[in-house]
Structure 1
Amino acid sequence: MRLRRTTTLAASLLAITLTATACGGGDDDSGDGGGGDEIVIGIKFDQPGLGLLTPDGDHVGFDVDVATYIAGELGYEPDQIVFQEAPSPERENLLSRGDVDMIVATYSISEEREESVDFAGPYLLAHQDLLVRADYEVPNEEAINDMTLCSVSGSTSAANVQRDIAPDARLQEFNTYSECLNGLERGRIDALTTDDSILAGYAAQPEHQGKFRLAGLELSNEYYGVGLPKDSEDLDAVNDAITAMVEEGAWDEAVAEHFGPAGYEPEAAPEIGTRPEA
Structure 2
Amino acid sequence: MNDDEERPSQRQGARPGPVEGDTPQAAELAQWLRERTAGLTVRQLAERFRYGRSQWSEFLRGRKLIPLWLLEDVVTALVPGPRNQQMQRAIGRELLEAAEHADAARRAAQAPQLPDGTAHELQIRLDDARQGQIQAQQTLHSLTRLIYTFLSMVADLRQRCATLEAERDQARQRLEEANATVTQQRLAESEQHLAATEQQLAETEQRLEGVEDLLARTRWEQQEAEYVRIRALQRAEQHRRAYEQRTGDTPTEPVDEETGAVTLPQLWEYDHALEAADAQLHAHSARLSAIRERLGIPAPSQSRRPRTILGQVVPDPSADSPDNAPTSSGSVRADSTDNADGSATLASSDRTRANTPGAVGSAAGAAGGPRGRRRPGRRTVLVGMVCLSLLAAGAWFARDQWQPSPSDSQVLRRADKRGELVIGTKAGQPGLSMEKDGKWSGFDVELARRIADRLGFPEDKIKFLPVGTNSRETMIKNKKVDLVVGSYSINAEREKEVAFAGPYLLTGQRLLMRKGDTEGTVWVNDDETGSLYTKEVRSYVDLPPKTDVCTAADSTSQKKLESLKTESGEKQFDVTPLTDYDLCISGLLDTTYEVLSTDDVILAGYQAKYRNQLVTIGGDMSHEKYGIGMEKNDSVLHDLVCDALEKEISSGRWDQLFKDNLGKIGVEETSPPPRTRC
- The correspondence for 1:131, drawn from 512, 527, 552, is 512
Counterpart of 2:431? 49
Whether 2:509 is the aligned partner of 1:142: answer no
Q: Is the 8 A contact 1:129 1:195 kept in 2?
A: yes
The aligned runs of 1:119-268 (5 Å cut-off) are: 119-135=500-516, 136=522, 137-144=536-543, 145-164=545-564, 167-205=571-609, 208-233=610-635, 234-268=637-671
Q: Report deviation, 1:143.
A: 3.1
1:189-229 Cα offsets, whole Å, 9 max, x none, are 11100000000011112xx1211111032111110000111
Q: Report deviation, 1:259.
A: 1.4
Equivalents in 2 of 1:139, 1:199: separation in Å?
A: 16
Q: Report deviation, 1:45.
A: 1.4
Cα 1:83–1:107 shift into 2, 3 Å: same
Equivalents in 2 of 1:266, 1:221: separation in Å?
A: 16
Partner secondary structure for residue 492 of structure 2: coil
Q: Which amino acid aligns with 1:181?
A: I
Equivalents in 1 of 2:593, 2:638: separation in Å?
A: 40
Q: Is the 8 A contact 1:8 1:74 kept in 2?
A: no
Q: Which amino acid aligns with 1:122?
A: P
Equivalents in 2 of 1:97, 1:177: separation in Å?
A: 24
Equivalents in 1 of 2:598, 2:548: separation in Å?
A: 14
Q: Report deviation, 1:39.
A: 0.6
Cα 1:134–1:77 shift into 2, 3 Å: same
- The correspondence for 2:675, drawn from 247, 250, 272, is 272
142-151 or 36-45: bigger deviation: 142-151
Q: Larger relative CO (CA 8 A, sep 6+): 1 or 2?
A: 1
Q: Which amino acid aligns with 2:646?
A: T
Equivalents in 1 of 2:669, 2:460: separation in Å?
A: 30
Q: Percent identity?
A: 34
Partner secondary structure for residue 89 of structure 1: coil
Structure 1 residue runs of 5 or longer lacking an equivalent are 1-6, 12-33
Counterpart of 2:155? none
Equivalents in 1 of 2:677, 2:668: separation in Å?
A: 20
Cα 1:130–1:79 shift into 2, 3 Å: same
Cα 1:96–1:10 shift into 2, 3 Å: closer
Q: Which amino acid aligns with 2:579?
A: N
176-185 or 155-164: bigger deviation: 155-164
Whether 2:455 is the aligned partner of 1:74: answer yes
Q: Report deviation, 1:10.
A: 4.0
Structure 2 residue runs of 5 or longer lacking an equivalent are 1-402, 408-415, 517-521, 523-535
Counterpart of 2:112? none
Equivalents in 1 of 2:565, 2:653: separation in Å?
A: 35
Q: Is the 8 A contact 2:548 2:575 kept in 1?
A: yes
Equivalents in 1 of 2:466, 2:604: separation in Å?
A: 21
Q: Is the 8 A contact 2:539 2:617 kept in 1?
A: no
Q: Is the 8 A contact 2:421 2:461 kept in 1?
A: yes
Equivalents in 1 of 2:445, 2:537: separation in Å?
A: 33
Task: Spell out structure 1 runs of 4+ moving beyond 6 A.
Answer: none
Q: Is the 8 A contact 1:8 1:75 kept in 2?
A: no
For these two proteins, the number of residue pairs brought into alignment is: 245
Q: Report deviation, 1:267.
A: 2.8
Q: Which amino acid aligns with 1:39?
A: L
Equivalents in 2 of 1:209, 1:172: separation in Å?
A: 24
Q: Report deviation, 1:146.
A: 4.0
Q: Is the 8 A contact 1:44 1:51 kept in 2?
A: yes
Q: Is the 8 A contact 2:659 2:669 kept in 1?
A: no
Equivalents in 1 of 2:501, 2:573: separation in Å?
A: 33
1:18-64 Cα offsets, whole Å, 9 max, x none, are xxxxxxxxxxxxxxxx864211000111111111101x210000000
Cα 1:228–1:36 shift into 2, 3 Å: closer
Cα 1:112–1:9 shift into 2, 3 Å: closer
Partner secondary structure for residue 112 of structure 1: helix
Q: Is the 8 A contact 2:509 2:598 kept in 1?
A: yes
Equivalents in 1 of 2:557, 2:510: separation in Å?
A: 9
Equivalents in 2 of 1:196, 1:162: separation in Å?
A: 18
Q: Is the 8 A contact 2:547 2:573 kept in 1?
A: yes
Equivalents in 2 of 1:75, 1:193: separation in Å?
A: 38
Q: Report deviation, 1:141.
A: 3.2
Equivalents in 2 of 1:98, 1:249: separation in Å?
A: 32
Q: Is the 8 A contact 1:8 1:73 kept in 2?
A: no
Q: Is the 8 A contact 2:564 2:572 kept in 1?
A: no
RMSD over aligned Cα atoms:
2.1
TM-score by length of 1: 0.83
86-95 or 233-242: bigger deviation: 233-242
Q: Which has the higher strand share?
A: 1
Q: Which has the higher helix share?
A: 2
